Structure 1
């Protein structure tokens, strides 16, 4: 029997490209269409591989109060997946429990209560909700969830040929695609999943395995920081316990960084890609920055390009040697040496400054 495991769908009709919504000629958000194309790839593989069960490990929606169109889209997606095989899903931290439960009316769609087993042939599944800090302190919630996972899995394992936990939560040792992880959320120990044949997790948008714990990552690129992360899903063969990752082809996203002096003559990007270019510009050279010049060297017909100048502010120098300088000449020399100017240039500038100082002193005497 084969199980398909995906997570973090994030249905969002307001999904943006470089911070703005781009519509096609039919008035449909292009990035939402991208997501539906990703789901279509999942569906096609499920049919081809004769999958018997699909698991969705949370964050079906982007926000807790989905719009009517987002709910319609979710209904359509689940109906298509459910036409192939039963689908079990659990809410994530982006989902409202009631919004996900309401989808249980769809044929072949199941939203079990937390820690309540559901069986399909010789497979037993129980769902673990996102650890909620409303239930206590972080350490208390961590202990509570780890204990419940251990107790539930140990009890069910006795009568299960293949036991799965469907969970939306971070696990210790997991790698994040970005540095913006929530340090306040509850992170579970991998050891609490030790009685399981397979832990189907969601929440972290980076495909990875930690012992018997699997994160497939998000279905599509959720934010630009995930540009280099592979997207996809897993298929598990319960007879052989073999787990295979199936990549999803997504719209290319380019994050490019240059200084004002290293902008290439041609910037090649993939067709219909999303491009974000950051140009580092020293404050004193802000007048040299020309976004049109950058735009003109881009080749490859991207969907959208956003060019961002990052102005490097000149910092005031706080140098103990300057404070201790005995005269104006020493102050000038020390300052320029700390600016790492060549000796020849320092001498030339110092002479010019001292010439101006002498001129001002002479003018003052004449007055």
Structure 2
């Protein structure tokens, strides 16, 4: 018989009842050191006092009014997103998938309003993950996500990841946009080199194509800058944000330049829950904390510390690990064993990690993890790897 919860997940046999910072406590009282952070979502850890305070204070006032009315908390969050990014405007969503859908719509509406509705092809890269909606899976195009869900939304062409020659051959003055993750998350923590990002920006400028960046996983301080594209010194036209922006509360956004958003007039898009006071109150507090230069400097320092320790771990277990890659606190261990084996060995050491493609295990801890917790995490990874040696 089918379970009451639709069985679309292969879940680990663990359930958590509470959390404290970098620790998640299971229903049997076992404490797990959390290097997954809900897949890069709990950016400030579990039960962060600042976020709890922001949420409960707002919960005692008003929860939901809908976008029929002005929402001051939404306007405050949009102001912060514009202040700290390239963008001129923001639309608040509930998730990264919703952000991806709006980004696609925004691109197509832009060209329609320019009098060229047939200019709708969006170039994407193999290994990408933009969500699970029909539009998002069509954009990514992987067999794992699209099989059985056809016919797919037309207008996407996938190119080999990191192949700039293929991009040069594909892009033209008929290309609507190029859409990509600066660092592929689900694809295995694969950063696109800064030089490639600058080349892509230049190709978009030459052809008039819009540049859409998916920073759902790599954004909100995860790589040591507020958004990963900042390392390359470029700006997109449209950007998707989610995961860490809510610190665990469902929240996302699309931010864009005035030009890219010029087609999105009243009635072209909407959301019942998007931008509700509860989510935005939390998002405002997250932005106020993470956008601070000293906080981001701390992420860079801790990312370097973790990476240094991981290099030693790789040297100690050459039969288990191949390399470490990524930036800041968005790191991946490329494995010689099945990623699921390392994840399961981690459970035995009361450590939470996240598998990914390209034989990679992701390490995505809360951005405020302590130095002592980093040392403890690597010690547990060492013991987990020891279970797999040989």
Higher helix proportion: 2
Bigger relative contact order, structure 1 or 2 (CA pairs below 8 A, ≥6 apart): 2
Query: Max radius of gyration: which structure?
Result: 1
Bigger strand share: 1
